[in-house]
A and B are shown apart, each in its own frame.
Chain A
Amino acid sequence: MSDIQKEPSMLLQKRLLADHFDALARAPEEGKKVVYTFVPGNLNELVRSFDLLPVLPEINALQSGMRKLSGGYIAEAEKHGHSEDVCTYVKCDIGMLRKGNIGPTGKRLPKPDLLLLSYTGCFTFMKWFELLREEYDCPVAMLHVPYQADGRIDPHQRDYVVQQLRSEVIPKLEQVSGKKFDEERLRSMLRLSAKAEDDLVWVLESARNVPSPIDAYFGGVYYIGPIFSAFRGTPEGIEYYATLRREIEERVAKREGPITPDGQLENERYRLVVEGPPNWTSFREFWHMFYEEDAVVVASTYTKVGGLYDTGFRHDPDHPLETLADYCLGCYTNLGLPARVALLERYIRDYKADGLLINSVKSCNSFSVGQLLMLRELEQRTGVPGAFIESDLVDPRYFSAANIKNRIESYLQMLDQKRQSKVAS
């Protein structure tokens, strides 16, 4: 399909990613060292301050999903004894590895020199890197990030993370890179992070406008791409978010709706908040279901898995390790359920949403367990009706397009009826 609409910032992002994967492909011959790590609680600035290159297996998995390769990779992993019941990101990654570890741009990914296991918001991460540890002969740095069960960070939790950074993570980064930790360099990168974070928050909050200039879920996953991955704390990251912000400012000024792959959404009819990750194998089809109905997602929680900035957090160069700890502790899935509900409630109100949709993915217990209760609670608290659909991240067997489409259509009809009866009364 050649007539897919793209925003200029999207093209810029594509270039950034391509350059990064090129650099990764060249890493072995250029003698650059590579760190595999996860999106939530990633320590990009710290890793980059040692001139190490990050690889994020979740990004590879979702890209494999979008390129329709994940089904084959998952089958490969299951053939080698991985259970059908477990997270498909893990299996997609293992399958990709077994098939030669060819990354999203068609180039081979280098082997890790270090597995940086940031255990933030999800228990499966630990098992994932234990599995990878069996495949590679390289050290592992474990960063255990405690859970915000009470929805707040206790000082001893922060201390625990900082101590691990000092005693476990930094020494291993030094060992792998052969460089000494340079706190000044880290600070200067954190400064860049904060700047990009300001722009990202501005962009996400632009969805408070009616009509919303962005789709904060389907479009949102592109907007978070650079900052959740290899570009937080880099000049490229700054450039991307400045470009994106200008683009959205223009759209706000013209009162234009979001750009979707099928064209601009011109007539916003429904404003939705979405909880849960998207499905990647049928991402475009899924988005199209919303586009057809003139439904716009105005806020989503998935865009907070790699950092919750819109509640005020910014990387703070004056307290470099403490700020990294707070960042890790604050990622969305590291919050207790009551705090997640409170955040969604705020989104529904602040973004004047008509509805709440939960996309519950089979893979992810971290997201999914408790979502039915969350839905009920939010309906009660806000009076906004909710809908629940089920799919998966990258396992195409669990995306039933007809069922999901039906569910979305009937849900939106119900919202319509509700609206009409309100007008009538």
Chain B
Amino acid sequence: MTATLTDLLQLARSLHDDLDLTQVSKWKAAKPGRKAVGHMPIYVPRELIHAAGMLPVGVVGGGDRLEIIRGDAYFQSYICRIPRSTIELALSGRLDVLDGMLFPSICDVIRNLSGMWRMLFPDRYVHYVDVPQNFDPAVGGQFWRRELETMRDDFARLSGHPVDDEDLRASIAVYNDNRAALRDLYRERSRRPWVFPLSEVYLLLRAGNVLPPEEHTQMLRAYLRQAPLDSSRREQDQSRVVLVGMFCEQPPHGLVVTLERAGCSAVDDDLLLGLRWLTRDVAVDGDPLSNLVDAYLTASASTASRYSPDGDRARWLLDSVKRNSAEGVVFCAPSFCDPALLDQPMLVAALDRAGIPHTEFKYAEDTGQFAVIREQAGTFSDSIRLWSTP
């Protein structure tokens, strides 16, 4: 039975809204002994969790539907929202379904949150994923391999399922499929953003946080097939923009909708990079850990959290603008997000040098008022269209 487009989108929406991770509970309940491991956004080798027979679960805070009761008592007002809503989720029992939690080296907030987790939940598995900032295979590569080995052994212990090379190869293949589907989605969206609007693409990406990768790939493929069949999707006079800064704390869905209504069609973005941080397939043959290491060193997405040894912070952005024929860049970073906001002046300077229009604003995951953003994005979109009119 094939799901209709409406069904698909409804499912994605319900997964997005499901703060209790019931999908994860269901998955676990389907087979006794199943385990799930949560991880904060970006740079986590999900293949290793999968190879141990566990479900990788992306945790991106509580968005705009979670009332923060306890979380605020743990964080000063000048710290972004995602750690406080994540702590709230945990303290309210909503993350009890997770058997472990990974904190990748995104920034000092997530780093320290890993220590808070250890203190608050001493009985749960917690691991800080220290991603190398050195890209020499003999140095950073070796370090990353060691980190991967540590995690592989930890996950084998946690799941009671030893992870051999065959398991890992199979998981790499599963994630290659998922990455390919995501790449196809991004490519198609860039060609016809009116067929694949951001407000939908975002929900489909979010589904990847909680669905097993095989199911997520199917969902993406179904969407790619079905969205073009909807004849009501017509080309609109919208400006083509790249969105930058949303790689960690996620925007509320309402913000994404607001951007669209303001006339901005996203043709590229850095939302949920955790699903897409390796930009090409990982080799399946040969030593799987070496292949994962090589993929990180040579093909991981550039973000504010990753050092760029070549000294060219903005190249990926300029490339994206060009590749996607974007007319402008919208910087939308979470308030108090050091990596995104420290990166921004460098990216802005590069865009100015290249004569690419841009606008900037900040959000929080629980932003509820979009009037100002709508106004700003609308003016920006209008101005781009004005300029680009021959």
Chain A residues in the interface with B (C-beta under 8 A): 80-83, 85-87, 90, 119, 122-124, 126-128, 130-131, 133-134, 140, 142, 144, 146-147, 149, 156-157, 159-160, 163-164, 167-168, 336-338, 340-341, 360, 362, 365-366, 368-373, 377, 390
A142 cross-chain contacts in B, Cβ below 8 A: 133-134, 307, 309
Q: How far is the CA of A362 from the CA of B75 in the complex (A)?
A: 11
Interface string of B158-173 (1 = CB under 8 A from A): 0000000000000000
Give chain A nearest CB distance to B246 CB in angstroms: 16
CA separation between A177 and B46, bound complex, in Å?
44
Nearest B-chain residue to A127, judged by Cβ: B342
A149-B111, A370-B113 are known; give 6 further A-B pairs, CB within 8 A.
Answer: A124-B108, A130-B343, A147-B130, A160-B134, A338-B115, A373-B74
Closest residue of chain B to A368 (Cβ to Cβ) is B76
Report how far A123 CA is from B130 CA in the complex, Å.
12
Q: Does B125 contact A (CB under 8 A)?
A: no
8 Å CB interface, B106-141 against A: 107-109, 111-116, 118-120, 127-128, 130, 132-134, 136, 138-140
Can you sample 8 A-B contacts with CB below 8 Å? Answer: A123-B105, A126-B307, A142-B133, A149-B111, A149-B115, A156-B143, A366-B112, A370-B112
Of A140, A149, A338, A370, most buried by chain B (CB within 10 Å of CB) is A370
A82 adjacent to B345 (CB under 8 Å): yes
Could you tell me if A134 and B346 are in contact, using CB atoms closer than 8 angstroms? yes
SS class, residues of chain B in contact with chain A: helix
* Docked pose: A144 CA to B345 CA in angstroms: 23
Stretch of B216-224, B258-266, B333-341 at the chain-chain interface = B333-341
Contact across chains for B119 and A144 when beta carbons are under 8 A apart: no
> Which residues of B are interface residues toward A (Cβ below 8 A)?
73-76, 78-79, 83, 105, 107-109, 111-116, 118-120, 127-128, 130, 132-134, 136, 138-140, 142-143, 146, 304-305, 307-309, 311, 313, 335-339, 341-346, 348-349, 362
The CA-CA distance from A164 to B133 in the complex, in Å, is 11
- A130 CB contacts on chain B under 8 angstroms: 307-308, 313, 342-343, 346
Could you tell me if B115 and A167 are in contact, using CB atoms closer than 8 angstroms? no
In the assembled complex, how far is the CB of residue B133 from the closest CB belonging to chain A, in whole angstroms?
4
Q: Could you say which residues of chain B place their CB within 8 Å of the CB of A371?
A: 76
Query: Is A144 touching B112 in the complex (CB atoms < 8 A)?
Result: no
A330 to chain B, nearest CB (A): 16
Question: Which residues in A have their C-beta under 8 angstroms from that of B313?
Answer: 130, 134
A175 to B143, CA, bound (A): 26
Asked if residues B107 and A123 are in contact (CB atoms below 8 Å), the reply is yes
